[in-house]
Amino acid sequence: MTTACSFVVFPKQNVLVSLSPVTAFLDTFKEAEQIFKMVNYVCLLQEGISNIPKFVEKATHNKYAVVATSINANMLPFEPHESDPTYPATVLSAAEWNSKVIFTLSDVNVDSPNAKLRAHAKEVLLREVTWAEHLQNSGNVMMRLRSPQNENLAAIVRAKTKDLFPLGNWLIRVPITNPELDTFEHRKDATEEDIAKAETIDPWSWWNKLRFAVDHNPKVKVVIELNDSDRPCKETVRRWLGEPIEAIIIPSSLFVRNRSNYAVLKKEWQVIIGHFITVRANIIISTNPNDNALNQYADYLNKLISLKTDIHEINSYEHVLEIPLQPLSDNLDTYTYEIFETDPVKYKLYQNAVQAALLDRVSDNEAKNKLTVIMLLGGGRGPLARAVFNAAELAQRQVRLYIIEKNPNAIRTLSYMVKTLWANKDVHIFSKDMREFDPPELADIMVSELLGSFGDNELSPECLDGALKLLKPDGISIPYKSTSYINPLMSSILYQNICALPSPTAFDCGYVVLMKNIYHIDEPQALFEFTHPNRDEKIDNTRCKVLKFTAKKNCVMHGIGGYFDTHLYKDICLSINPLTHTPGMFSWFPMFFPTRARTLKEGQSISIKYWRCVDATKVWYEWQVVNSPEDWEHQNICGIGYNMRLWPE
């Protein structure tokens, strides 16, 4: 069953709101909001610009939506003057300052070991930030990060981001690899030892230190700077995908000329940049003011964006935290049912499974005389019933369908469909809880769609165990097996959204979420398995298991990803496991179980322990990272934050 909810967290606002349309911010900020929420804007970065309006005009003419340039047109940060900028605020409108310009702050070191330099750098930086605050009330400033020493910078950022206004986002510019490596190409004195030492320096650790120092502030985002002398490895790129990426900076030197003398990127860079585009990273092209190929860069990147960006109806759910459904205790509304029914892949596979089962159970010789009784547990608005009838028609087998649905509102729609669409079908509807239904006859096949994003989190084991009395001794269940999977994840955006929730038990909940900016610290492993029909003499649906994972790189663990796969019939499967995801299926988003953020070292082993607990009224999960090297918090004890109710309240 697809997961949806009534209350969600919108990542841009980080507040718990209903799904009704959100009122826009003040009209003054609307244009800025639109530009910086665009799917992949292309920005032109040039330093040494003295005429910002002309720069904006040139960029717009060459198909750039945004510009980035120094806030201080004097370009002399170490010569403090009261009137550093040589332009008045009126050269652009307020909306243009907010929507068209990213200010790059002077490259000063507020964490210099030299006290005089440190004090002067802080004076320069605060002077520039004050000017940025005057020009922009929801804009962006960009600051270069050059080392892990950033305590003073973090203090300034914390002070300037503690409230919604006046300044927008701080974009922290981080090189994707150690910039010192660039110098070795031109140095004759560099030894192999020097190079090896430089290769061990990871700028991600600089960002990670700052990120913790500002407490994962959602207004602090990262801008990753590529360089043409050192292409990053695949795992380095994947790790950055779990960060709050605002943009990547592509220097014009990455472009080469093709046979038509047109500026293009090599395939290796296309792949790397494509990964960032898929997580909605924006593009900043860095050039010198005399570059005459600006239009070609923009054209090329816009085409690459159109190729790499997935645009579909569910994009609006990216990073939106949803409370999992409680379909056993609550009745779903028609909006939720309609979302379920838009997935063509799921119902086609169900149809294939029923068709294959009918062909196996009824031979060609028996086809005209043998009736197969199918019991549909949870009919909704009828999509699975249609799949059953289609399967019977394709298999040329006779079926009698019993639809058991506990939602009295859904019964109205089903009754109408029986009268208008299925009048010539052998179909019978019962408004009952499947666990309390007394059937007129037993079923050959039970068909159900009771699975949640974590497999059993919508209580399919309890439901199907309770419905076992409806099935013949040799009857089968579609699906017949489901397995949940977990793996540790890094996702700053999801972590920030959870931290923003007002609930004291926010970290004791499992959330359904369409994940985009995530890094898989290790691959998913199988957790809990359930098979149906379960004919054990004593049925026990509690579970406990520990799985061991290894960090592939230095990273931060923000939580645990949850997925499932299910076998419908024989080898016909549905999966949202990232390793085996069913192509084109979007009915289920993964689950996210948060943990408190902790840095992991490359090669570090972490063991995750999960419990599935059951009492008379509810089912819940508990989770804990154990022995890593010490146990982390034990979360959702006794279902304090999240549980699945067995009966209506």
Active site residues: 449, 458
The distance between the two most distant Cα atoms of the chain, rounded to a whole number of Å, is 97
Q: Of 313, 332, 329, 414, give the one whose Cα is nearest residue 3.
A: 332
Question: Cβ(331)–Cβ(6) under 8 Å?
Answer: no
Give the SS3 label for residue 494: helix
- Residue 115 parent element (H or E): helix 115-135
Q: Of 29, 3, 167, give the one whose Cα is nearest residue 513.
A: 3
76-85 burial, b if ≥16 CB within 10 A, otherwise e? ebeeeeeebb
- Distance between CA atoms of residues 507 and 492, nearest Å: 14
Helices (H), 317-407: 334-341, 344-361, 383-395
Question: Cβ(202)–Cβ(153) under 8 Å?
Answer: no
Question: Cβ(456)–Cβ(530) under 8 Å?
Answer: yes
Q: What are φ and ψ of residue 136, in 5° steps?
A: -125, 130
Q: Which amino acid is at 182?
A: D
DSSP 8-state secondary structure symbol assigned to residue 161:
S
What residues have CB less than 8 Å from 64, skipping those under 6 apart? 42, 43, 44, 285, 294, 298
Terminal CA-to-CA distance of the chain, rounded, Å? 21
Q: What are φ and ψ of residue 645, in 5° steps?
A: -80, 135
Number of Cβ within a 10 Å radius of residue 294: 20
How crowded is the C-beta side of 48, counted as CA atoms within 13 Å? 5
Question: Cβ(593)–Cβ(623) under 8 Å?
Answer: yes
Question: Cβ(206)–Cβ(222) under 8 Å?
Answer: no
The pair of structure tokens assigned to 17 is: 């709101």
- Distance between CA atoms of residues 310 and 516, nearest Å: 11
